[in-house]
Every structure is written in structure tokens, then in C-alpha cells.
Amino acid sequence: MRVVLSGGGTGGHIYPALAVAKQCASEFPETEFLYIGGQKGLESSLVPKEGIPFEAINITGFRRKLSPENIKTVVRFLRGVSTSKKLLRKFKPDVVIGTGGYVCGPVVYAASKLGIPSIIHEQNAIPGLTNRFLSKYVDTVALSFEGMESAFPGSKNIIYTGNPRATTVYEADKTKGYSALGLIPGTPIVLVVGGSRGAKAINEAMIEMAPLLNELEHVRFVYVTGESYYEPTLQAIKAKTGNLPRGLQVLPYVHNMPEVLASTSLIVNRAGASFLAEITSLGIPSILIPSPNVTNNHQEKNARTLESAGAAEVILEQELTGPALFSSIKQIMEDVSRQVSMSTASRRMGKPDSAHLLVEEMHRLTQQRR
């Protein structure tokens, strides 16, 4: 099978594509890949590190307000379609899959115009502008959340697969997570993460909460600040507590996040779709603080989906304080039956076979074409 992958801008679009590539290579070792991404997107550095051939196109997203820049964006889109057609004709893929971000627009659209089977995968509970546009042209729309079918009227085929990132994390070894943190297996861990770059509001709440942590003597807190916030946050906590609380580790970044997640008892995090796929695949209870600075406020919709299922508690950023966050953590960590019920609800939402389901659909489309 020959596969073109496209997705970019953020890790939430790139990592699902890479998870599909890994699964596809596992099931069909002869598969050849080409990844088409943006010139300036994160994918331009991440994808080559995975050993996948990469080609870049020049494309930008539409501004939601009237702007002369949108005219330039239309021109770049048309040029991107032309460039994508050339790349696709040269590579001759059996199927093209887009995992979101505006770079998918010209790539997947070009595939549809060339008669190449195509799939888009929507990670969020509220679909993005690019995927709504492409849904009218692709052969299959794959969903991360159930009940989103009405968001894609007129689509030929809609399937619920979950997020392929779940497959990668589901296979993680929790003993390696405990070992990486220097903790005894079975230690209750509360992992607090603000995303790969960190989150100012969560950092401020964590600093405010730090003096309270010793109230949960049996729990170990692991706080991942993000590189840019690490030093000021560490110093602020030390200034507030006199030193770090005994049960707290402050880290700038975690390179083996799947293993650390596998050892986690409760996670405090934003509500990006890929991260939610990861924690539900492992059945981790969560306290979610949706970012208000995202398109269509989709993170709150993502978070509310887990909350409605009983898998998470949601704290909006405007309501976030150190004492409020600690109170929620304490209530969950001191109530074993609630932890179990949240974990069960979380696991029910998980789709550890997500990547396989997408690869299965890719293979079906290629066979149908033949």
C-alpha cells in the first residue's frame, strides 16, 4: 500500500497521523509513506525524525474576520492544490488521509479531484473549518467522538474510530513510568500538565496550591510546567513553601509521556482531543481545564463529553484557583469508589484499537478502488 499522510500545525494533528503510520507499517510492512505538511508547521521537524519522507507546501489558514489576508490565503490554497496534485501524481498513492489543520485542505482536496480514495479524521467534538469543507469531497469521515455525525451533512461515509493516538499510549509500560519518576510501583500519582508548552493559568494555580499538597501525604504530585515556565514556576513554589513540598516533583517536560500516563492515578490537564484519547485508552480519571483560547471553544465541548460520561470533572479557567483545584483533587484521591467509577467511565470511552480501525478503512478503500 502507498499512503499519503497530511496534518499539521499542532501535535494534536500530527501525532494521530504518525500513529496511523506506525499501525499501518505494523499490519502492512510493505507500506510506503509520504507526508505532505506545511513549510512552517511543527510537522516539518517532527515527521522527518520518524523516518517518513516529507514534502512541504506553502499554505496558511483563513482568518475568521474579514481581512485582505484571506485573499492571499485563497491564492495559496489554489497553488497548494496545484503543488499537491504534482506530488500525488509522482508518488501515486493508494489512499490519502488527513488528520486536521489547514495544510490538509489542498492535499486532500487535490486527492479527491484526482480520484484517489481519501479519508479525513476529526479529533475534536466540534469539527474544524478545514474538515467541514473537505467532508463533502472525501470517501470517509472518521470521528473521535460518537454522536458527531450531524456535523458532516452530505458526507458519503462516516465511521466512529476514536483517536489513533490512543493505540500508541494503550501499549505503554507503567513500570517504566514509575521508574522514570523514581517512585515505587503502585504509588498514587497525580499528574498535572498544561500541555507541551505549558499553561499560565494552570501554573498560577499550581503555585497557589503548593502549600496544601502535604495534606495528601500518601500522594505524589508530578507537575509538568512546559519549558518556558519551568524556572519561574519552580522558584515561585520554593518562595511560597520555603522549599518544594516532599511529595512534589516539578519537571519542564516529560519525554516518555505514555509510560508516565500509564502509571498515573489522576490527571489534571487541558482538553485537547489527542490527550483525551490517551487518557481514556488507559482509563485515567481526570480534572479538565479547557483552554478558552481555541477555535469554537472546542476544548470545553471535548471536556464536557467526558464529564457527561462520568469520566472527568471540569473546571473552567475563569473559575480556576489553587484551593479550588486542590479541593477537587483531594475529594477524588480520598474517595476510592469515585476513582474506580471515573476510571471505568473513562475506559468505556477509550478506543485502543483506533489506529487499527483507520488502517482497516484505508485498506478497504484501496481494495474497493481495485
Residue numbers in the known binding site for UDP-N-acetyl-alpha-D-glucosamine are 10-12, 124, 196, 299
The rounded Cα 281 to chain-centroid distance in angstroms is 12
Q: Nearest 10 degrees: CA dihedral of 8, 9, 15, 19?
A: 0
Lookup: cell for 314: 471540569
Is 171 buried (19+), middle (13-18) or exposed (0-12) by CB count in 10 A?
Answer: exposed
User: Which phi and psi angles does 199 have, rounded to 5°?
Assistant: -145, 125
DSSP 3-state percent helix, strand, coil across the chain (nearest 5): 50, 15, 35
Lookup: cell for 147: 454522536
Query: Does residue 122 sit in helix, strand or coil?
Result: strand
Report the side by side order of strands in the sheet with 189-193.
248-251, 220-224, 189-193, 266-269, 286-288, 312-314
Half-sphere exposure (Cβ direction) of 317: Cα atoms closer than 13 Å: 18
